[in-house]
Chains A and B, each alone.
Chain A
Amino acid sequence: MKLNELTIKEAEDGLRSKKFSSVELTIACLEQIKKYNKELNVFITITEKEALYAAKKADKQLNNGTIEQWNNSPLLGIPIALKDLFSTKGIKTTAASKVLRDYIPPYDATVVKKLKDAGAVIIGKTNHDAWGHGGSGENSDFGQTKNPWNQEYVPGGSSSGSGASVAADMCLAATGTDTGGSSRLPAAFCNVVGFKPTYGRVSRYGIISMASSLDSIGHLTKTVEDSALILNITAGQDVHDATTSNEKFQDYAKNLKNGVRGIKIARPKEYFTQGLDIQIKRLTEDALKKYEMLGAEIIDVSLPHTEYANPCYYIIQPAEVSSNLAKYDGIRYGFPRENFGDEAKRRIMLGTYILSAGYYDTYYKKAMQVRTLIKQDFDKAFEKVDAIITPVSPTPPWKLGEKINDPLKMYLSDIFTVTANLAGIPGLSVPMGFVNELPVGMQILGPQFSEGLLFQIGHAYEQISEWYKRKPKL
């Protein structure tokens, strides 16, 4: 097995038992990037020099360090990619938009700082839909990322490069943002694990805002365990983000192997009806059967306001987007507003309209009220069950270009994922199998701050399904 194919857990063991060095591991990743980045278009910036420097530094610590130091630097020497929405001090951060094509932040996002402090080696900045707007990766101003499983297909978005980079073993993990499914969808379409935390669990400071009340800071990994390990680093209250929570947490990997016996898992009927691909439906039912086999109790529930989630999301989100993008007014950052792509312009116009005097009550206020109802649907369900399982996307990955001229069709790919953002609850996307040789995923949703339980449930299925062992043929 090549070093770049390792999981974080495996690489940690190897580094600490000195089977290989961080420099070797980092070079393996860089070589994979060099080999395939041209065709897959995964990275906007490759930080080779900085990565090798960090790897050398990590090796020094690995050679001289004590166990205590290792425990303080749980990701010591591990190559990680960052979505290009994460501000990196001294390294270009473009938001995949031409508006910021030359922007170099003078500061690190809190999450970036935490990852660096934990010893992670930042290997590059991944491509995505500009500003996080999209479900396919096709809205990047720097060209679309291709699905490593089949280059004619979309890798899912908006964290398209992060999904593809992990699937193609260009790094061991990648960060993502998730405003309406942007970490979970590309994870599902690339056969990797995608995670969205509870709103307020992970700091948003320094990550270029899309829609502030929905933005969640997640990551994409090869396994569920790795996902828990990253959250151990990124979670926590941040003095720079007033919306972060002071809720305490333990090691998220602690209960990983506890199994699902006696756990109540809901199957919400609204996610299994119209528009759901028949094969995805079958795979989700299969997964639920496996859980039943493992001792979980499957319970049918109803989340009655689900049908309003997408319309509600496409009111609140563009409204906040229009305000968040106002700062790119052409006076600073070097490039005028003509540099915005079509999708950003569409959302700016929609959002500006939604917030204008006379329409605010009809649209924004109403949508916020519906949002409360959607949240209450979940609250009620979680009185009866521990978690909810649904497909991540109603369809398998589609062909590049297939929906690009039909924004409404594109927006429908978010239909199962936006609910978690509206309700502020965590979600974990876990590989669930293949439809016509293309990966699809299921998502596990839980109450606020139930991340540990989600990892526990996800891990149980992952260990018997072993989809993560399948790799794309590049």
Chain B
Amino acid sequence: MKMDKFKPIIGLEVHVELKTKAKMFCGCSADYFGKKPNTHTCPVCLGLPGALPVPNKKAIEWCIMIGLALNCKINNFSKFDRKNYFYPDLPRGYQISQYEEPFCKNGYVILNETDDIKKRVRIRRVHMEEDTAKLMHQFGIQNKIQNDEGYSLIDFNRSGVPLVEIVTEPDFEDALDVVEYLKKLQQIVRYLGVSDADMEKGNMRLEPNISLLELKTQNSKLKTELPKYKVEVKNINSFRFVEKAIEYEIKRQGEILNGGKTPVQETRGWDEDKQKTISQRVKEEAWDYRYFPEPDIPPIRLSESQISNLKSQMPELPDTKLARFIKEYGLSNNHSEVLTRDKKMADFFEEAVKIGKKHKLSAKQIANHVINKKINLDVVLAADVISWIIEELNFSDIEDEILGKTIRIVLEKNQKAVADYKSGKVQVIGFLLGKVKQQFPKADVNQIRTTLEKHLK
């Protein structure tokens, strides 16, 4: 099959759930995951008669921060709109979203395809909306008794949780770029501390739209011309599935086009069991959302000083940090990338550098140790790492205090081995000894063994 005569045109819509304390339009807790159904509700998020939405200031600020991090222009005048449609998970019969005047628009993200080749993905808009309730169908079907029509249950704990929707221009050409963009986006919202962006909990939901452009068309006409159809794949909750869905669609649509036909404009879903996308809704049947300005919420005006104030509250972002690590610490691109992937790791490293300075340790030495030893940030302090490095360099006896602490950490992490030892399998001490010795490769094994035995008693 001749696939090279088509160029994939891919755009992306991503929904990110914010981790604000309260929901978007009421005071209910937004922390719904794993909570007893319908316990985080009030008249507002249940959409009861007469209840009115009051926007969450923090959520709006965070939405704007995401926009700023994606190099967007922030609108000085924004408003909410009603998106009208019927669905049992939508208690008001409309979703409060933003249509005409989103908080942020016209941004971009730079992807590093290789160290030298960079790709610019344009961000069309970043806007604020609310999540829907959650439908649970399984109970009704399982409990269905004869002559009963069956039923579904609705959990409103998620209803009204703040969602930020980030829409790109159709600037992607392959699945790998999409995944890189998604990882970058996930990293940015985590850096900002506005969302856990946990895919499994549904904090981040992905909707690629894919179409293929015939290259001959591209050459003879304006480059901006897009294919006449678009296939959306809805609500994917894994980077891996997005990759597979896009690859599947490119193949599927290519086959249709090769057969001289045009793929149907439609919404599809990814079926992981069948490893393919499945048609859900043909676009001709699409709803008219009858958008109009939300009369219950006055328009929001943002001054330049308010915007710059928000900007000043933002932490250093991954790209800037990466560049700074290379420049300031003289680290390799690779090491800087590893250290800045996660903000917690970057902060840990910088703290260790600060302490290391007093002991005349270089940033490079510290980076090597932190990366090679795969330090567990949950149990180790930056100061511990410095002590380990010093011990390693000194070849001498280990200070009792640091040895003791290291052993405690190892025992804590290997409780099964400890239990085995205590139940009589004393040979397991070799394993534990090895673990401790990893931190002190040049130290006296007998000293470690004696101290370890003391701790195991």
Q: Identify which of residues 163-180 in chain A touch chain B, using a CB-to-CB cut-off of 8 Å.
A: none
Q: List 21 A-B contacts (CB under 8 A).
A: A87-B48, A105-B48, A107-B43, A109-B50, A204-B50, A205-B50, A206-B50, A240-B51, A243-B298, A322-B84, A323-B82, A323-B84, A323-B94, A326-B94, A327-B91, A355-B84, A355-B290, A355-B291, A356-B288, A356-B290, A360-B291
Contact of B92 among A86, A208, A327, A355 (CB under 8 A): A327
Question: In the complex the two chains form, is B296's CB within 8 Å of A242's CB?
Answer: yes
Q: Does B88 contact A (CB under 8 A)?
A: yes
Residues 94-107 of chain B, each 1 if its beta carbon lies under 8 Å from chain A, else 0: 10000000000000
Shortest Cβ distance from residue B162 to the other chain A in the assembled complex, whole angstroms = 16
Q: Does A93 contact B (CB under 8 A)?
A: yes
Contact of B93 among A86, A329, A357 (CB under 8 A): A329
**Interface residues of B, CB < 8 Å — how many?**
27
Question: In the complex the two chains form, is B49's CB within 8 Å of A240's CB?
Answer: no
CA distance A205 to B288 in the complex (A): 29
Q: Does A241 contact B (CB under 8 A)?
A: yes
Which residues from chain A contact B50 at a C-beta distance below 8 Å? Answer: 85-87, 105, 109, 204-209
Residues 291-327 of chain B, each 1 if its beta carbon lies under 8 Å from chain A, else 0: 1100111100000000000000000000000000000
Q: Does A239 contact B (CB under 8 A)?
A: yes
Question: In the complex the two chains form, is A242's CB within 8 Å of B53's CB?
Answer: yes
Shortest Cβ distance from residue B415 to the other chain A in the assembled complex, whole angstroms = 49
Question: In the complex the two chains form, is A364's CB within 8 Å of B295's CB?
Answer: no
CA distance A212 to B50 in the complex (A): 10
Known A240-B54, A329-B93: A87·B295 in contact at CB below 8 Å = no
Question: In the complex the two chains form, is A103's CB within 8 Å of B49's CB?
Answer: yes
Question: In the complex the two chains form, is B297's CB within 8 Å of A242's CB?
Answer: yes
Contact of B48 among A107, A243, A356 (CB under 8 A): A107
Nearest 8 pairs of A and B residues by beta carbon: A326-B93, A213-B295, A355-B290, A212-B295, A206-B50, A208-B49, A327-B93, A87-B50
Which residues from chain B contact A319 at a C-beta distance below 8 Å? Answer: 292
Q: Does A275 contact B (CB under 8 A)?
A: no
Question: In the complex the two chains form, is B49's CB within 8 Å of A95's CB?
Answer: yes
Q: Identify which of residues 45-77 in chain B touch chain A, using a CB-to-CB cut-off of 8 Å.
A: 47-55
CA distance A334 to B295 in the complex (A): 27
Which residues from chain B contact A209 at a C-beta distance below 8 Å? Answer: 49-50, 52, 296
Shortest Cβ distance from residue A336 to the other chain B in the assembled complex, whole angstroms = 13
CA distance A240 to B50 in the complex (A): 11
**Interface residues of A, CB < 8 Å — how many?**
42
Which residues from chain A contact B94 at a C-beta distance below 8 Å? Answer: 323, 326
Residues 62-89 of chain A, each 1 if its beta carbon lies under 8 Å from chain B, else 0: 0000000000000000000000011100
CA distance A207 to B51 in the complex (A): 8
Q: Does B86 contact A (CB under 8 A)?
A: yes
CA distance A450 to B106 in the complex (A): 44
CA distance A100 to B48 in the complex (A): 11
Question: In the complex the two chains form, is A357's CB within 8 Å of B290's CB?
Answer: yes
In the complex formed, the residue of B with least CB distance to A85 is B50
In the complex formed, the residue of A with least CB distance to B92 is A327
Which residues from chain A contact B55 at a C-beta distance below 8 Å? Answer: 242
Residues 136-178 of chain B, each 1 if its beta carbon lies under 8 Å from chain A, else 0: 0000000000000000000000000000000000000000000
CA distance A95 to B50 in the complex (A): 10
Question: In the complex the two chains form, is B84's CB within 8 Å of A357's CB?
Answer: no
Question: In the complex the two chains form, is B48's CB within 8 Å of A241's CB?
Answer: no
Q: Does A61 contact B (CB under 8 A)?
A: no
Which residues from chain A contact B93 at a C-beta distance below 8 Å? Answer: 323, 325-329
CA distance A160 to B232 in the complex (A): 52
Question: In the complex the two chains form, is A106's CB within 8 Å of B43's CB?
Answer: yes
In the complex formed, the residue of B with least CB distance to A204 is B52
Which residues from chain A contact B295 at a C-beta distance below 8 Å? Answer: 211-213, 243, 320
Known A87-B49, A103-B49, A323-B84: A241·B54 in contact at CB below 8 Å = yes
CA distance A328 to B43 in the complex (A): 15
CA distance A87 to B295 in the complex (A): 20
CA distance A100 to B49 in the complex (A): 10
Q: Does A1 contact B (CB under 8 A)?
A: no
CA distance A93 to B92 in the complex (A): 18
Which residues from chain B contact A103 at a C-beta distance below 8 Å? Answer: 49
Contact of B290 among A213, A239, A323, A327 (CB under 8 A): A323
CA distance A325 to B47 in the complex (A): 11
Known A320-B295, A323-B93, A329-B93: A93·B290 in contact at CB below 8 Å = no
Q: Does A279 contact B (CB under 8 A)?
A: no
CA distance A211 to B82 in the complex (A): 14
Residues 220-254 of chain A, each 1 if its beta carbon lies under 8 Å from chain B, else 0: 00000000000000000001111100000000000
Which of B288, B292, B297 counts the most chain A CB atoms within 10 A? B292
Known A206-B51, A208-B49: A326·B292 in contact at CB below 8 Å = no
Contact of B292 among A105, A107, A323 (CB under 8 A): A323
Q: Does A408 contact B (CB under 8 A)?
A: no
Question: In the complex the two chains form, is A242's CB within 8 Å of B298's CB?
Answer: yes
Which residues from chain B contact A87 at a C-beta distance below 8 Å? Answer: 48-50
In the complex formed, the residue of B with least CB distance to A93 is B49
Which residues from chain B contact A100 at a C-beta distance below 8 Å? Answer: 49
Contact of B296 among A212, A322, A331 (CB under 8 A): A212
Which of B51, B54, B86, B291 counts the most chain A CB atoms within 10 A? B51
Q: Identify which of residues 345-397 in chain A touch chain B, using a CB-to-CB cut-off of 8 Å.
A: 352, 355-357, 360, 364
Known A323-B94, A326-B92: A239·B54 in contact at CB below 8 Å = yes
Residues 285-326 of chain A, each 1 if its beta carbon lies under 8 Å from chain B, else 0: 000000000000000000000000000000000011011011
CA distance A206 to B295 in the complex (A): 16
In the complex formed, the residue of B with least CB distance to A203 is B52
Shortest Cβ distance from residue A322 to the other chain B in the assembled complex, whole angstroms = 8
Shortest Cβ distance from residue B317 to the other chain A in the assembled complex, whole angstroms = 32
Which residues from chain B contact A208 at a C-beta distance below 8 Å? Answer: 49-50
Residues 437-450 of chain B, each 1 if its beta carbon lies under 8 Å from chain A, else 0: 00000000000000
Shortest Cβ distance from residue A405 to the other chain B in the assembled complex, whole angstroms = 29
Which residues from chain A contact B92 at a C-beta distance below 8 Å? Answer: 326-327
Known A323-B84, A323-B94, A331-B88: A364·B52 in contact at CB below 8 Å = no
CA distance A109 to B51 in the complex (A): 8
Known A106-B43, A107-B43: A326·B84 in contact at CB below 8 Å = yes
